């Protein structure tokens, strides 16, 4: 197990005195967190990437794309999945408005794109999004830097986006003031931020299940930066400069957090056992 208290450990373990945590709520109608792209296919990861979160922070403080982002890329990141959302594929076609055949991706010796052969007037492209998803992203670093980022999120220099510029976030983004503790302790203590429909469905499942369960807490998936983690993601940005974009890898740890839901215990009686309910209920597995 890692020994660095800033990346793992007991959920109640305090972080270093000179570090703090900024908690961000990343929610909106659409999100798209790509860690790879091609001209005709833009995919999304199932949760925010580090490059996407760092890009949002860089936009908030007003950094140009060519600026050094080492101080931001060095922040530790934790992401909690409060509402995974569903995958949406957006179908596109691309044509030249002048009526010319489209160029291909390859370039000649002079760096000019080659024409398609045979000539092609339309490209089909696919873009993927997460719809109705809610994530909590926690970034940990020096207290002064985290405080400055919190102020910038509240008064951003550039528009903020959830991965792609077309994906506008809902408010609030920053959840209160900066927090003390570790990434894990902060994300474990913050109540569930799923939407009302998801919370209501969870409460109904707890009450109507053949084995009713308490609805005061819920298990949520989470991912943390961890040098000893058993997974690697290539989403740490080295530069956002258009002609010098680059990424490196980070080690991560996947886990589950048991967090408060904010739901009060129901006063309605639990569902009767199958024998008293009149036998087999075919809708029981659907949670109705």
CATH number for the domain that contains residue 74: 3.30.70.2660
**CA-to-CA separations, 184 to 21, 87, 94, 256, 258, in angstroms, rounded:** 10, 27, 44, 10, 11
This prediction has a pTM of 0.79
Those residues whose C-beta lies under 8 Å from the C-beta of residue 229, and which sit 6 or more positions away, are 251, 252, 253, 254
| Residue 257 to residue 259: CA distance in whole angstroms | 6
Structural domain boundaries enclosing 72: 19-86+130-260
Q: Is residue 95 part of a domain?
A: no
Contact of 258 with 218, CB cutoff 8 Å: yes
Helices (H), the chain: 50-61, 70-73, 143-154, 183-189, 196-208
Q: Is residue 101 part of a domain?
A: no
Q: Is residue 12 part of a domain?
A: no
pLDDT for residue 267 = 43
Q: What is the domain count for the chain?
A: 1
Q: Is residue 252 part of a domain?
A: yes
Question: H-helix or E-strand containing 19?
Answer: strand 19-31
* Residue 10 CA from chain centroid, whole number: 23
Buried-state track 155-183, b at ≥16 Cβ within 10 A, e below 16: ebeeebbbbbeebebeeebbbeebbebbb
C-alpha closest to that of 33 among 14, 46, 15, 20: 46
| Residue 91 to residue 191: CA distance in whole angstroms | 37
Q: Is residue 246 part of a domain?
A: yes
Strands 123-142 and 41-42, by their bridges, are: parallel
Q: Is residue 148 part of a domain?
A: yes
Q: Is residue 270 part of a domain?
A: no
Q: Is residue 61 part of a domain?
A: yes
Query: How does pLDDT run across 157-179, given as a tens digit for each residue?
Result: 999 999 999 999 999 999 988 99
Q: What is the pLDDT along the chain (288 residues), one digit of tens a residue?
A: 333 433 444 444 556 668 999 999 999 999 999 877 666 788 899 999 999 999 999 999 999 999 999 999 999 999 999 999 999 999 888 888 888 888 877 788 888 888 887 888 888 888 999 999 999 999 999 999 999 999 999 999 999 999 999 999 999 999 988 999 999 999 999 999 999 999 999 988 887 777 777 889 999 999 999 999 999 999 999 999 888 888 999 999 999 999 999 988 754 444 445 544 455 555 455 544
């Amino acid at each position: 197990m890692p020994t660095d208290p800033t990346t793992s450990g007991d959920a109640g373990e305090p972080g270093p005195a000179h570090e703090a945590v900024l908690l961000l709520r990343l929610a909106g109608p659409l999100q798209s967190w790509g860690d790879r792209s091609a001209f005709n296919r833009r995919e999304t990861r199932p949760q925010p990437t580090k490059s996407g979160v760092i890009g949002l922070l860089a936009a908030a403080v007003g950094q140009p794309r060519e600026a050094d982002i080492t101080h931001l890329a060095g922040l530790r990141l934790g992401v909690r999945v409060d509402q995974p959302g569903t995958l949406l594929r957006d179908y596109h076609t691309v044509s030249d408005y002048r009526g010319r055949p489209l160029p291909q991706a390859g370039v000649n010796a002079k760096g000019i794109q080659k024409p398609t052969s045979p000539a092609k007037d339309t490209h089909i492209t696919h873009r993927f999004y997460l719809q109705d998803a809610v994530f909590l992203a926690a970034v940990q670093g020096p207290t002064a830097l985290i405080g400055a980022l919190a102020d910038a999120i509240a008064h951003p220099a550039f528009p903020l986006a959830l991965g792609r510029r077309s994906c506008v976030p809902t408010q609030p983004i920053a959840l209160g003031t900066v927090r003390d503790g570790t990434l894990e302790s902060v994300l474990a203590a913050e109540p569930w931020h799923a939407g009302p429909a998801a919370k209501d469905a969870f409460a109904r499942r707890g009450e109507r299940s053949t084995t009713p369960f308490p609805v005061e807490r819920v298990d949520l998936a989470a991912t943390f930066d961890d040098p000893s983690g058993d997974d690697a993601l290539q989403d740490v940005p080295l530069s956002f400069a258009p002609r010098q974009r680059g990424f490196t890898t980070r080690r991560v740890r996947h886990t589950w957090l048991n967090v408060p839901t904010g739901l009060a215990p129901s006063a309605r009686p639990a569902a009767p056992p199958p024998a008293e309910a009149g036998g087999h209920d075919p809708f029981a597995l659907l949670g109705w």
